[in-house]
A and B are shown apart, each in its own frame.
Chain A
Amino acid sequence: MNFFDTAVSFLSLAIKFSTVFLFGATGEIINQKSGHLNMGTPGIMYFGALGGVLGERIYIMCTPAEMPLNSVLIVLIPVLFAIIFGAFGGLIFSFFTVTLHCNQNVTGLTLTTLGVGVSCLFISGMPMDRMAEAGLQMQSAFPGYKSLGWFGEIFLSQSWFTYLGIVIAIATAIIISKTKVGLNLRAVGENAAAADSAGINVNAYRYIATIIGGAIAGIGGAFYELDKTKGMFNIADGIDAFGWLALCIVIFSMWKPLIAIFASFGFACLSILPSFVSGNDYITYGLKILPYLATLLVLIITSIINSKKAQAPASLGVTYFREDR
């Protein structure tokens, strides 16, 4: 394998990996724009993974053994399940923080622990037959990509999930910055009291934003579980690691989904680098530190820049209760 081929397959894999980050980051951006610092995102991605695997199982079980799996349904059904499960995670978070006025950090961390535990328990108990076949089915959205050389290999070899992720990120960016709903959402996250006194239903915005954000993050978890591990559960390489890095990508991209697309790609490159570098264990494990080192670096840089426009939403992490004195 020459260098060129290696580079092409590296980039192709990086894009695939970045999809997981992107779903997580986009979901979290929507959360945070509403003022919810949802540290439950890693757990919610696990919920999504559970939903995705469950959806795929149900589809496989309903398909006779001799029939081939439909390449559209094999994506659509798990995605729907992932959305429902992820949204459920967001609903739990909102219920605790908005309705019960719980601390957001505590709620988020609890949700992550819960999500990891519950999903591990159920996914590991699921039968594995035809999962690998299903995984192959959803590999690429455009089967003809090979005729387009390196361009096709990198950009068109991806599954529907990747393109969906980019579309969702762009749509989110437009909604947040160009529409009235986006303006209201930003106001809720910046100054909930101001939004409330302007007649915006703060609680509704926070509930809905968190549920939608959870649903999007959930798709990311499902994609990772179905595409990369093909239903084979591997706890050492958990989804929560993606979730935590997604939280960092949100800060790095300054709460802008468009930047998050590229930030996700960057973090994906760092994450897969170890498997492309041959060497002893020290080098491999050393390289695995890179994404986390980058996280620290990002925090340092953003605290130095400290520009007024690239700040976190001002009410981030603050639970709003109108009658608070």
Chain B
Amino acid sequence: MVSPPALLITFMENIRFENITKIFGSIVANNNVSFSIDTGEVFCILGENGSGKTTLLNVLAGIYKQDEGRVYINEKEVNINSPKDAYAHKIGMVHQHFKLVNVFTAFENISLGSKTKYTVQQVVDLCNKYGFKLDPNKRVYDMSVSEKQTLEIVKTLFRGVDTLILDEPTAVLTPQEIAHLFDIIRNMKKDGKTIVIITHKLNEVMEISDRIAILRKGEYITTVKTSETNEKQLAELMVGHKIDLNIHRSKIPTTGVRLHIENLSAVNRDGEIAIKDISFDLYGSEILGIAGISGSGQKELLETIAGLNKETSGSIIFTNPKKEQPVTFFHKNIKQIRELASQGKFHLKDGSPCDLTNKSNKEVIEMVNNEEIIFYEDEIIDLKYKKPIEIRDLGIKLSFVPEDRLGMGLVGSMDLIDNMMLRSFRKGHAGLLDRRKPAALAQKIVDELEVKTPNIHTQVKKLSGGNIQKILVGRELSSRPKILMTAYPVRGLDINSSYLIYNLLDEQKKKGTSIIFVGEDLDVLMALCDRLLVLSNGHISGIVDPTKVSKEEIGLLMTRG
């Protein structure tokens, strides 16, 4: 191959970062990053969460100002102080959290802030040119995530950009939408545009990019050609050491029905119908995955089961596998035991009926501790209209690891011990708190899950996302749940922590826990879950075996109806 003349090389090079450093408080987001992006290529910036990808490109887009270093465009040093300056250099960015005005129409969003006056026809023409599907008169709040993203891209193109930065563009799209987006990216590349994609998804990088720059913990590692690398090498460059990218799915037989949900409908906090006519069974020792476009009712379904949402109809029947098992104080207090005994729910170890009416509390406690009181049958409890506290008082071990860790799961400004006590503050003596047991639990979680924290008296919000999640998951698992519900448990976590969480879930499954796992990464869902329930627009569009269907089939289910 003949090397191109030197003149052409300088012409090809479009954007160059030189020693970019950006510091937020005590966190060094980018440290001395230098590399260049060529004209007309699809260039991926690959790195884990928190590796500084978005920060770096935000410097280019005029959102952040670098503390040190220079940016060159076509070998000229440029000073980009605002998004406006970035547009002047024909650079536009589509942020992960869309910057759209909800109450405006698509057309109003496009013409926002521009000097020239556009017509609706121009928008339609541009959409046809690249293959966008967009209704200029639709308001943003009526749009799907994919439409919003399309609008963001169209908006940026209308400013005449030559370099388009996409931040995690596939995070919330279905496989079909991703395929369409990639078609559009290829069309734009044909048109001579430079596309920069920020991502952490290896398979997509391999599919779409020409070259890949890898960042790790704010440092630039290297740039590789996509044709000369593979997923394994990229993962190692990203993480810095060899990692096992396999998710374990233990094959163990399921035990009986743990949760039976029939025709469940519920409204969300705004009173809009969020889930309708949901029916499924959840078995012991299984992971049931829930897939769907974000906002299809995943969150509401979990919240409804946990008692946080109002059911409008249907039933949630919980079966506690207690048949021939001794009753324990772990699940019932003495008053509940007496009440159940009077209903004839128990027999004694020797098979004789259990009558506690004439026994003193002390005697009952002794009998329970000696495991003398045995359940006749499994406990069957209807959870409908029950609040979380009522569900817990019934002795039902139901754990919920919500999407919003610091909003619903933990209190950021409290330390590890106090956060442990959120689950157990009703136990112990009246009046004064007993901190010893929660402290021991906190220490156990820190040790077992390798939480990186100075000590257990540190405020939770000062820890990184991965460590916060480990604490939350650890606390929920410590209550030995019968049912564990978790929504996006690895959101914002690095690869190592993510795999640690997947393995923890699998371990729990082996212990007999029923797990509902709401995820966004279809590859993970398909590798981890035993069954996959697909939600579309609040109802079930299918329950499938992930080993027997393709990603595309699931994608179709996600958009059906």
Contacts and interface: CB of A to CB of B under 8 A. Distances in A.
B286 interface: no
A183 B108 contact: yes
Interface string A182-202: 011011001101111111110
Contact of B103 (A195, A196, A309, A325): A309
Contact of B65 (A199, A309, A314, A323): A323
B216 interface: no
A306 interface: yes
A311 interface: yes
Given A190-B101, A191-B99, A306-B270, A200 B113 contact: yes
Contact of B83 (A186, A199, A306, A325): A199
Contacts of A325: 24
B101 A184 contact: no
A311 B102 CA distance: 11
A198 B113 contact: yes
B114 A311 contact: no
A184 B103 CA distance: 13
B37 interface: no
Interface in B75-95: 82-84, 87, 93, 95
Contact of A311 (B65, B98, B103): B103
Contact of B82 (A183, A199, A308): A199
Given A197-B93, A200-B113, A186 B63 contact: no
A308 B272 CA distance: 13
B84 A199 contact: yes
Interface string B115-155: 00000000000000000000000000100000000000001
Contacts of B87: 199
A91 B24 CA distance: 30
Interface residues of A, number: 23
Nearest to A311: B103
A197 B159 CA distance: 11
B64 interface: yes
A197 B98 CA distance: 10
A187 B270 CA distance: 25
A187 B112 contact: yes
A309 to B, nearest CB: 7
Interface in B315-355: none
Nearest to A308: B141
B104 interface: yes
Contacts of A183: 104, 108, 111-112
Given A187-B112, A199-B113, A194 B82 contact: no
B306 interface: no
Contacts of B155: 198
A322 interface: yes
A199 to B, nearest CB: 4
Contacts of B108: 183
Interface string A221-249: 00000000000000000000000000000
B64 A187 contact: no
B64 A323 contact: yes
B517 to A, nearest CB: 29
Nearest to B22: A323
B487 interface: no
A141 to B, nearest CB: 38
Interface in B161-219: none
Contacts of B65: 323
Nearest to A189: B101
A187 B101 contact: yes
A323 B65 CA distance: 8
A200 B103 contact: no
Contacts of B159: 199
B287 interface: no
Contacts of A199: 82-84, 87, 113-114, 159
Contacts of A184: 112-113
Given A184-B112, A322-B63, A308 B83 contact: no
Nearest to A315: B101
Interface string A105-124: 00000000000000000000
A191 B141 contact: no
Nearest to B25: A325
The residue in A193, A311, A314 that gathers the most chain B C-beta atoms within 10 A of its C-beta is A193
A200 B83 CA distance: 9
A322 to B, nearest CB: 6
A186 B101 contact: yes
A50 B551 CA distance: 70
Given A200-B112, A200-B113, A187 B104 contact: yes
Interface string A155-193: 000000000000000000000000000011011001101
A190 B82 CA distance: 19
Given A183-B108, A323-B64, A197 B103 contact: no
A308 B113 contact: no
23 contacts: A183-B108, A186-B101, A186-B103, A187-B112, A190-B101, A190-B102, A191-B99, A193-B99, A194-B112, A195-B113, A196-B82, A197-B61, A197-B63, A197-B83, A197-B93, A197-B95, A198-B99, A198-B112, A199-B87, A200-B112, A200-B113, A308-B103, A323-B65
Given A186-B103, A314-B101, A314-B102, 9 more contacts: A183-B112, A184-B113, A187-B112, A187-B113, A194-B100, A195-B113, A197-B99, A199-B87, A323-B65
**Which 9 residue pairs are nearest across A and B when measured between Cβ atoms?**
A198-B113, A199-B84, A194-B99, A200-B113, A190-B101, A199-B113, A197-B83, A198-B112, A197-B99
